[in-house]
Structure formats: structure tokens, C-alpha cells
Chains A and B, each alone.
Chain A
């Protein structure tokens, strides 16, 4: 902890002190203290990054291909562009897959049209069509999805026309995503674009009924480090039927029948809230926000899911599973917590994880000094009630908004308004998300799109025991002697979801905050003072 106590106002001043005036003015709006039960202040989010200010953000393509569609295992995800974009999004997010003995699995492959100068000058549509054909000839996938990169947008290739034409020719699903990196202000725009296309082209295209009693979908779970596997294990044990996970270890067929679910659960609010909304409007499936990061949070989410189905047997089963699973969890917490209690953490990551992971730190008795998102919108901080007040700016306006209406055949309300009302009264808030800020301590810092400079300053001032961010920050912060836990792809750890995940987390955090490596940085002679010499003489 810092030697001189500083309040959030002073910290904020310190963070922006050296910035050029215009930059400082803008950044100041992206910093507030936590609200902890009090009134929630407005925070600036989802605005452009500032040229030259080292940002940790990625781009629209990264959100579209890397985050949302990348983890689907039987779609050939074809990047239309020069080689780099496709190369960098190749296996780097650690989306685990289990294709089973005969299943398709294209995750270990990277597909690209590898555009060359000729394609840039004369247009790449012919090459794209040929690449789709060759992908089909070599791999026979059930679906192909195409992603455009920056130069493609500029030269004006009509990737959607090519997709339509190839879909007709090949008789499989082919769709395209206009996710050029320069669109929007962050990955978040790419999530939106991918979701729109899945909604338009895949979800609800197979009416074969799905058997199972308590049918749910899991939205915004990408199976990083195997999280989805753990969630699947728990849901199955409780008796839920999980139809589709969007999109960790997912298949096109799962997406096609997803409209048979009776409840949608949303893990990552940022990336998938649109789909939940659209599926409710189109098919009548209510959605709730869940959180499977943290043992207590997992238990709470399971109880809420069971409450929705209003089935005593299910509720009993869920209680039994929780009781069973918590035995081991408590044992490990009891062992580890004395070593982590009172330590501090900061989380600056993603568009949900900086919130979800606070539960896990809480379970270890650790304090959150600061948190923020890399590419969230205001509702992720302040809660969904602010949605109507968010101004739509030029960068958001160029992301397509689908006009969704109830499907004439498939729309089927799962509950009557009265039933929903009654469940709501019992504390099951549908479409509800209260955001991250409300629960954060008043002396903690909430910072949106934190940049390198602010990160360095914040660490100098508050010196947390652990910092959570991504690969780009990792070694910068570790050079400062503070361990960094990657939460975009977990370093090599995980799963961290569910009960077993929580146990993994406790062990990893225990190791990270208690390892001896941080004490090895100085050689004995580097802390030499006169008293040492004296003691040498005395010996």
C-alpha cells in the first residue's frame, strides 16, 4: 500500500497532471471513485482513443473475429485481408475446444485470403470467392464466415454479395461481417457486428425440437482456459439442458436450434446483451444476467436460474449441487485466505471481467483499489437504466442496428406478464444489470480505457499486490515488481469459472501474491548501507 494516503480526487489530479491540456480534460471524464451504495456518477466510456496515447484497446475486427465468432469450432472463419490480421487472431485467445471423436474443429487453423497489392488495386472479390471455394473443397465445413479488414472497406469489396453468391453455389451457410478495424472505437463494435450476423443468418434456422427439461442458452462465454467446460459440468449436474453457448466450443447446429431455449443467461454483458435482447423480441425468450466467476456468484446464479423455472425438484437439486461443491471450495478458501486476506488488487480488463473477478478477490478477502474496462459502454459501469440517456455518436451510428420483430411462427412468450412480474418481485430481475460501479468502494478508482501512463502512475501511487490486465501490460507491470494476472486469456491458467474454477483461482492468486520472486530483484550488495559494512567488520 502507498505510504502517503491519497484520496481519489488527488489521485485523479496526479494522473492527468502531465498530460497536454486537451488530453487531460478528456481523460478526467473517464475517472470517478466507486459509488458503494451511493449515487452513481456518470462516467465517460466508449469514446475514441487519443492518437499517440498508448492504449490497450484492439479493434472491431478483433472483437468480431477474435472474440465472438473465433471460438465457434465448426465454422471456417475466413479473414479477407492482408495476412497479419488473420495471423494474430490465430489461437491467441486460448479458446479451448473439444470436438469429440468425430466432430469438426477448425480452431487450430488460420484462414486468410492473404491479399496482395494486385487485390488492393483491382479489388479482392474474385479472390474471396475463390478462397471460399477452396475452403469448401479442402475442408467441407457446415458454414463459412468472412471478416473484412481495414483495406477491404476502403477498396469497397462487397463481401456480402460474394457470401450470398457462394452460399447459393455451395448450399452451406456463408455469411460476411463488415468489421473493418477502423469502425467504431474498440472491439465492442465488432461484438455487435458479429452478433447481428449470427442473428440474421444462423439463430433459429432449425426447428427440430430439442429434448430436455430446463432448456437454457449461455451467452457471452468463450471458453477461455476451459471456463465453459466447467459451467457445462455444473449445469448438467443440476439438470439444466444447455442448448448453445455463444460461442465457446460452439457449433453452427447449436446456434440454429438456440431459439428452443426457455431462458437466456448472459455472462458477458458487453459482448452479448444485443443477442439476448433480440432473441427476446423475436422468440419470446426472457434473459437474466448471470455470473459464474466466483463460487458464491455461481451459487447465486444457479439459484436464480432454478427460480425462473419454478420447479421444486430443480431447486432442490441445485441446492444439493451447491452444498456438495461448496465443501471443497470452503476447504481451499480456509487454507488460503489467511495468506491473501487484506491484500489488494486492481483490474483493468475487457468489458465484463473487471467486474466479475471482483467476486473472486472478495472470496479471498482482498481489497479492490481500482477497476475499469478496456472497451465497455456506460451501462457496463452505471447499469442498464442509463441506456436511454446514452448519446449515439458518429462512431456507433455506423454499426448496423437490426430491426427485430416477433417471428410470426416462432415467437412464443415463455411466461405471462403476470408470471414475470411475480418472479421479478421475488428478486429475479429480467434484463437487469446494475453495472460495476455501484458495488465498488468509495475510495477506489474507476477508470475507463486506462492508458499506459495512467497505469504506471496508479501503480506508483497505490502499489497493489496484484494487477489484472492483458498481455500488453503484463511485463511492463511486472518490471515494476507487481505480479500481473492476465484476464483476457488467463496466462496459462484456468478454468476460473464455477466451483472448480474458483479453486483454481485461489491457488493461482495465492502463488502470485506470495511467490518469492519479487524479493529476488535486489542482489544483497544492492541494498548495501554503512551498517552492513559495520556488521561485516564485527563478524
Chain B
């Protein structure tokens, strides 16, 4: 019997009910972004439940320690405002945990009350609750607007607002602002830039924070992460590249408007073309030539595509997740000759539709896609019920559909609760493209091996 036994192909219009969402709420993204700053302690301004959920979600996904404070609202704070709770929290945090930075984000509750983080942080400073040399940054992250991707974007901007300065002495560096992606992806973005011989400031940077070693010693503040000094220097940089339209546009524009650091917003560099665009943007900004080693890696990806195109061409895929992730995956699938038959993303944004239309315009299939409200996994499943696909790509929650419909699943995005790898191996850049290819082929060829009749069971594929 099916796990999702109540899902049928009969699609009824829904205006109010979301079933099996392809998104979650803002603060979890804000908490994640904050962990990409060295010595930073995330703090959730609201009731303790949100904070517990967000810590749990990140912990389950990364299998790493995630600590954060909460303002512990009770009914009283909900009526009279959370100022005194937050000031007490700031005091307690600096006294007991001694971070360099506290990154505060709101929750639905404190947002609905209308607590003003600017004013409260100022008061904390005035009251002497912020020790010398220590910082508070903050972001407004109401979950009834946007999703976890928006929360990430808001906190990234909050972090920049807290630290970036312009000294007037250009440092010749290039800012790279990664979108909501894995620590391994951030590491790969840096590695590619380094291969080009470019000195980048990458912020936030969760590499080394959420994929740390086991040593027998717990460090609340791992040695990794973007330092406040690095971030401050972003104001003197030559230019900025934001990777992920939803997650980084605000931050890129902020640097441009406030510090006259010119910016380019690209998609996440997942797949061949998106990586090409990243490398191209880097080389133009820095005025460098792309070294042979990078061309070599790229060429390897093209080689594998050509070797295995017969197994990829025409295969139908269903994809769910964040728009920055999903659009990039769709493009890669199209590059491989695959058909992105169904795509959903819970995050709203007009660009999604435009870009999807562009990406699938030559695909020989009537591709269905939807984002924003009610673009959930229930809808995705209903589409699949009506006409199945060969492959599913998305977070762990898709495993129920995968089992019911007997379709292989490639885990990608947030959260991944039941597999390892996303923290350690990138899916961006050419090496990420190679890893994705390996996964696609493993899934498709594995299926072919499993299902092949005796006579057609092949040794070489």
C-alpha cells in the first residue's frame, strides 16, 4: 500500500491549503547564514519553539552542532514587546558564550508585535551590554513573507550592513556572495576563483563550520567562517558576484548602492553553462585569463556528457526545491538533453516563470512548473500520477513519492535528512557538475540494470 495513499491524479484547485510544502520559513535560512561568519552566535528573537525547530532542522541536515539563543517569549512578552527579553539575552550571551558577533533574526511572533531590532540593539549598546570590540548584526525575517531562501538573503544583507566599510583604499579583491547552498559548494566557489588566481572575499562561508572534523573537542566557534574584517573589506573591493538570484540580489545591490562596488547577480553555478557564466564573470572582473587547468576540468565534464548522452537524452525529471537551486538544475537537465517535466518551488518570484519559459522553450514536452503559493510536493505528486517521470530530484521528503511511484530519487537541496555527502562534495562548479552527472547516471543505469530482462542485461554500458 502506498505511503501517500491519499494522493490521486485528480487535481482540484486549491486556494488555501498547502500540502507537503516545498519550502520552509525564513529564520532557518537566517540562522544558516549567520553560521557563515566566524565567531558568530545566532539569536532568534521570538518564542523558544521556533529556535528549537530551526536548530533541529539544521542539525538534522548537517549532522553538526548548531547552537543558537532565543529570547524565550512568553505571553507577557507577546503583549508588551520583547525588548527586555532581548536585552537580557544579549547580556547573557556575551557573558556566558563570549561570541565576537551576535546575529539576531526575528520570528513571526516578534514581527507581528513589531519589535524594532535597530532600536533594541542600539539600546543594548547604550546600556553597556555589548562589550568593546563585539558586534550585533540583525535582520528582519517574518515567515509570512518569503521562505527560508528569503531569510538567508535578509541575514546576508544584515551581516553586510553590520560590517562593510569603505576606506577609500581599493584592495583589488572580488566579493563572492554565495546563495543558499552547502558548505562544500561555498568551498568549491572559492576553489574555482583561486584556480583563476583571484583573491576573493567569500561571505558568508560555512565551509569548515558545518562540515567540521571529529576531534574529541567541541568548539562553539570553529576556526572557519568569514571574519568580520574580511566582510568589512568588501566595501573596498573591485566588484561583487552574487550567486543565486533570490538569495543574493539584495546584498549585491546594497554593496553597489552604498559603497559603489559594482555587482553582478548570477544563478547558482550548478551545471556546465552556469559554471561557465561564473568563471566568465570572475575573469572579466579581475581581468585575468582562464588557466588551462580550469578548461581541463570543464572538458572532462563535456567528455562524460558525450560518453553517456544516450542514457540521459529524453529522460523525464521532476524537481522540487528552492528556485535558485531548481532553475540551475533545470538548465543542467536541458543541457543534458533531459526533460524537466515537472518543477515546483514554494518560493515566490516572477523571474521563476520567465526563466522557466526560456529554459524549456525548445524541450519537446509540455513541461509543467509552478512556484509560490500551493506549489507543493502534493501537486508535484499529482502531476506524476498523471504521467510518470524517470527521475526525481529534491530533498529527502521526496522519498515517499519515490517509493510509491518506484522512481529513483537524487537527493538535493534542503533538508537532506537521510544521506551524507552534501556537506562534503559540491554540486556547483565543474567538479559539482561531474558529481551530479555521476549521480544521475548511477540512478538511471542502476535502474536499467535492475529492470533489464536477462537477454538485455549488459556488462558494458
User: Interface of A with B (CB < 8 Å)?
Assistant: 18-20, 23, 48-62, 78, 81-92, 99-101, 104-106, 108-117, 119-120, 127-128, 130-131, 133-135, 137-139, 149-151, 153-155, 181-185, 394-395, 398, 452-453, 456, 470-472, 474-481, 518, 521-522
Q: Does B459 interact with chain A (Cβ within 8 Å)?
A: no
Q: Which residues of A contact B219 (CB under 8 A)?
A: 479
Task: Evaluate contact between B109 and A120: CB separation under 8 angstroms.
Answer: no
A120 to B108, CA, bound (A): 10
Residue of B nearest to A59 (CB): B49
- Whether the Cβ atoms of A84 and B74 lie closer than 8 Å is no
Residues of B within 8 A of A101 (CB): 1
A150 touches B65 (CB 8 A): no
Q: Are A19 and B53 in contact (CB under 8 A)?
A: no
Could you say which residues of chain A place their CB within 8 Å of the CB of B23? Answer: 83, 87
- Chain A residue with Cβ nearest B49: A59
| B72 proximity list for chain A (CB < 8 A) | 48-51, 55
Q: Which of A62, A87, A153, A475 contacts B24 (CB 8 A)?
A: A87
Among A51, A108, A470, A476, point to the contact of B218 (Cβ < 8 A): A476
Which residues from B are CB-within-8-Å of A89? 53
Instruction: Please determine whether A478 and B4 come into contact, CB atoms closer than 8 angstroms.
Output: no
Knowing A51-B71, A104-B6, the reply to whether A476 touches B65 (Cβ < 8 A) is yes
B20-68 CB contacts (< 8 Å) to partner A = 20-21, 23-28, 43, 46-50, 52-57, 59-60, 63-68
Interface presence of B91 (CB below 8 A)? yes
Count chain A CB atoms within 10 A of each CB in B14, B19, B74, B113 and give the residue with the most.
B19
**Given A92-B56, A117-B144, CB of A475 within 8 Å of CB of B63:** yes
Cross-interface CB contact of B85 among A51, A78, A104, A456, cutoff 8 Å: A51
Q: Is there contact, CB below 8 Å, between B53 and A85? A: yes
In the complex, B69 has a CB within 8 A of chain A: yes
B4 engages A109 (CB within 8 Å): yes
Q: Which residues of A contact B91 (CB under 8 A)?
A: 20, 52
Binds A, one of B92-100, B260-268, B321-329, B334-342: B92-100
Closest 3 CB pairs of A and B: A59-B49, A84-B25, A52-B89
Complex interface: chain A residues within 8 A of B217 (CB): 479-481
Query: Are the CB atoms of A57 and B52 closer together than 8 Å?
Result: yes
Q: A83-B143, A84-B25, A181-B49 are in contact. Are A90 and B397 (CB under 8 A)?
A: yes
Q: Is the CB of B15 within 8 A of A110?
A: no
- Of B75-83, B163-171, B301-309, B353-361, which binds chain A? B75-83
A49 and B17 within 8 A (CB): no
Residue ranges of B at the interface with A (Cβ–Cβ < 8 Å)? 1, 3-6, 12, 14-21, 23-28, 43, 46-50, 52-57, 59-60, 63-78, 85-86, 88-93, 95-97, 107-109, 111-113, 142-145, 147, 212, 214-219, 346, 373-374, 378, 397, 400
Q: How far is the CA of A521 from the CA of B23 in the complex (A)?
A: 37
Shortest distance from the beta carbon of A414 to any chain B beta carbon, whole Å: 38
Chain A residues near B12 (CB-CB < 8 A)? 134, 137-138
Closest to B11 in A: A138
- In the bound assembly, the distance between CA atoms of A184 and B25 in angstroms comes to 23
- The docked-state distance in angstroms from the alpha carbon of A193 to that of B88 is 30
The answer on a CB contact under 8 Å between A53 and B92 is yes
For A54, the chain B residues whose CB sits under 8 A away are 67-69, 97
Contacts of A394 in B (CB 8 A): 75-76
Question: Is the pair A181, B69 in contact by a Cβ cutoff of 8 Å?
Answer: no
Whether the Cβ atoms of B25 and A474 lie closer than 8 Å is: no
| A126 CB → nearest B CB, Å | 8
Report the bound CA distance from A395 to B400 in whole Å. Answer: 40
Contact present for A134 and B17 (CB under 8 Å): yes
Given the interface pairs A20-B95, A181-B47, the reply to whether A109 lies near B19 with Cβ below 8 Å is yes
CB distance from A265 to the nearest CB of B (A): 30
A62 to B48, CA, bound (A): 11
- Asked whether, in the complex, the Cβ of B108 is within 8 Å of the Cβ of A472, the reply is no
A365 to B60, CA, bound (A): 32
